[in-house]
Amino acid sequence: MSSLLIKNLRKSYGSVEVLKDINLEAKSGEFVALVGPSGCGKSTLLSIIAGLESVTSGEVLIEDKLVNNEAPKDRDIAMVFQSYALYPTMTVRQNMTFGMECRNIDKATQDDTITRVAALLQIEPLLNRKPGQLSGGQRQRVAMGRALVRDPKLFLFDEPLSNLDAKLRVEMRSEIKKLHQNVGRTTVYVTHDQIEAMTLATRIAVMHQGVLQQYAAPKEIYENPANVFVAGFMGSPNMNFFSARFVSSDAESGIALEGGDGALLPLPDGQYDHLTDGQPVIFGVRPEHFNPAHEGRAARKGNTSAVVSVAIEMDEPTGSETILMCKIAQQEAIVVCEPDEAPEPGTTMAFEIDMSKISLFDPSTEERL
């Protein structure tokens, strides 16, 4: 059974189309992350699921029931806002009971629920405070608490962690993960942060300019991005894109980088048989798929790697790894390597690329080949 189903959804504000033909489906208990650059329509999509915005065309189904024309309160959803939207004149307790009060839940049940949720989120000492007297992290918890006192069909989160500092964000991220595992409700989670998306989600929906680019499991998005946008958006540092062409002769076949020495980077067998000789491609390699070349390593790895020479221009040590700004065949590139293996800036060094993990895209359509 699908918990949430969105069919051919379109949304326009006046003449501006903000969402273009979105199709999305979430199974019961799934954690869907909605990612994309600012202004791509994530919040709008969430508001439409919540019933706070109307659709221009298309259908929204929650637990197989068409809800296009239902008010937010009848959709049985709970939502956490980026701004938290805590009621400023109510105490934390009143903030959390307000929804139950609106639904005429009796006082005893309300008290039990508050006790349970407050314990879960460790906000018992805050119950009688006003939102103005809480820190950012505490407010975030209360906002979560307000959603958790309900047992809705769907949880919606709109960038709930974006106002927190980096450390708290990591903490809350794992708490949200734990919560989802405990509560097990279908969740749609909007975020800017691809690490949040990768770590939390069972499936990620990548959006760009109102179009759903790819909807797949995190591993799939990372390994087989559907197009250049998804490949560049997910992953940090960004994937390298080289302009290159596919060369195939009787003797050998592979990728030749533009501006390079003409050496061919061999492709894994079987996967790219549909390419034709001389076809231009965008050759995508993630920075972490470069390794300093060692004798015999290529052979060990079953000949899936290809060696390139890398001219290092600048290094950025982060501690756990070193990011190298460099040139490969005169094209800008970023390579990540172990700090103790990092070469000096100004030197040239041989790196091998794990060819089983590369992506090829069509330069004209930017779609995956």
Partner 1 sequence: MAETTHQAFDPLATGSHARQLRAKFTVYALLVFFALLYLSPLVIIFMNSFRPLEEIVREGFISAPNALSAQYWVEAWSSFCIGGNCEGVSRYFSNTLIMTIPATILSTAFGVVNGYALSKWRFKYDTWVFGLITLGVFLPAQMTLLPWAFVLGKIGLSNTIGGLVLVHTVQGISFTTLFCRNYFVAVPDDLIKAARIDGAGFWRIFRRIMLPLSPPILIVCVIWQFTGIWNEFLFGTVFTSGSNQPITSAIVAFSGSGTGERHYNVEAASVIFAALPPLCVYVLGGKYFVRGLTSGAVK
Ligand X SMILES: Nc1ncnc2c1ncn2[C@@H]1O[C@H](COP(=O)(O)OP(=O)(O)OP(=O)(O)O)[C@@H](O)[C@H]1O
CB of 63 to partner 1, least distance (A): 17
Site membership for partner 1, residue 197 (CB under 8 A): no
Segment interacting with ligand X, rule: CB under 6 A, options 39-47, 279-287, 288-296, 314-322: 39-47
Reduced 3-state DSSP string for the chain: CEEEEEEEEEEEECCEEEEEEEEEEEECCCEEEEECCCCCCHHHHHHHHHCCCCCCEEEEEECCEECCCCCHHHCCEEEECCCCCCCCCCCHHHHHHHHHHHCCCCHHHHHHHHHHHHHHHCCHHHCCCCHHHCCHHHHHHHHHHHHHCCCCCEEEEECCCCCCCHHHHHHHHHHHHHHHHHHCCEEEEEECCHHHHHHHCCEEEEEECCEEEEEECHHHHHHCCCEHHHHHHCCCCCCEEEEEEEEECCCCEEEEECCCCCCCECCCCCCCCCCCCCCEEEEEECHHHEEECCCCHHHHCCCCEEEEEEEEEEEEECCCCEEEEEEECCEEEEEEECHHHCCCCCCEEEEEEEHHHCEEECCCCCEEC
Residues 87-146 binding partner 1 (CB under 8 A) are: 87-90, 98-99, 102-103, 132, 146
CB of 332 to ligand X, least distance (A): 27
Q: Work out what residue 146 binds among ligand X, partner 1, Mg ion, none; the CB cut-off runs from 5 to 8 Å by kind.
A: partner 1
Which residues, 6 or more positions from 71, have their beta carbon under 8 angstroms from its beta carbon?
51
Residues binding Mg ion: number (CB under 5 A): 1
CB of 57 to ligand X, least distance (A): 16
End-to-end Cα spacing for the chain: 33
Residues binding ligand X: number (CB under 6 A): 12
Q: Work out what residue 38 binds among ligand X, Mg ion, partner 1, none; the CB cut-off runs from 5 to 8 Å by kind.
A: ligand X
Q: Work out what residue 85 binds among Mg ion, partner 1, ligand X, none; the CB cut-off runs from 5 to 8 Å by kind.
A: partner 1
Q: Which is nearer to Mg ion, 41 or 225 (CB)?
A: 41
Cα(44)–Cα(287) distance, rounded to whole angstroms? 33
Q: Work out what residue 40 binds among partner 1, ligand X, Mg ion, none; the CB cut-off runs from 5 to 8 Å by kind.
A: ligand X
Among 43, 47, 97, 291, binds Mg ion (CB under 5 A): 43
Scored b (16 or more CB within 10 A) or e, 65-100 reads: eebeeeeeeebbbbbbbbebebeeeebbbebbbebb
Site membership for ligand X, residue 39 (CB under 6 A): yes
Among 33, 42, 150, 169, binds ligand X (CB under 6 A): 42
Q: Which is nearer to Mg ion, 161 or 312 (CB)?
A: 161
Q: How far is CA 32 from CA 18, 179, 199, in A?
A: 20, 15, 11
CB of 112 to ligand X, least distance (A): 36
CB of 109 to partner 1, least distance (A): 15
Q: Work out what residue 113 binds among partner 1, Mg ion, ligand X, none; the CB cut-off runs from 5 to 8 Å by kind.
A: none
Site membership for ligand X, residue 146 (CB under 6 A): no
Q: Work out what residue 164 binds among Mg ion, ligand X, partner 1, none; the CB cut-off runs from 5 to 8 Å by kind.
A: none
How big is the CA angle at 315 (ends 309 and 321), to the nearest 5 degrees? 95
Q: Work out what residue 39 binds among ligand X, Mg ion, partner 1, none; the CB cut-off runs from 5 to 8 Å by kind.
A: ligand X
Q: Which is nearer to ligand X, 39 or 278 (CB)?
A: 39
Among 28, 57, 69, 83, binds partner 1 (CB under 8 A): 83
CB of 229 to ligand X, least distance (A): 14
Site membership for partner 1, residue 77 (CB under 8 A): yes
Site membership for ligand X, residue 18 (CB under 6 A): yes
Site membership for ligand X, residue 38 (CB under 6 A): yes
Site membership for partner 1, residue 56 (CB under 8 A): no
Residues making contact with partner 1 (CB under 8 A): 47, 50, 52, 71-73, 77-79, 81-83, 85, 87-90, 98-99, 102-103, 132, 146
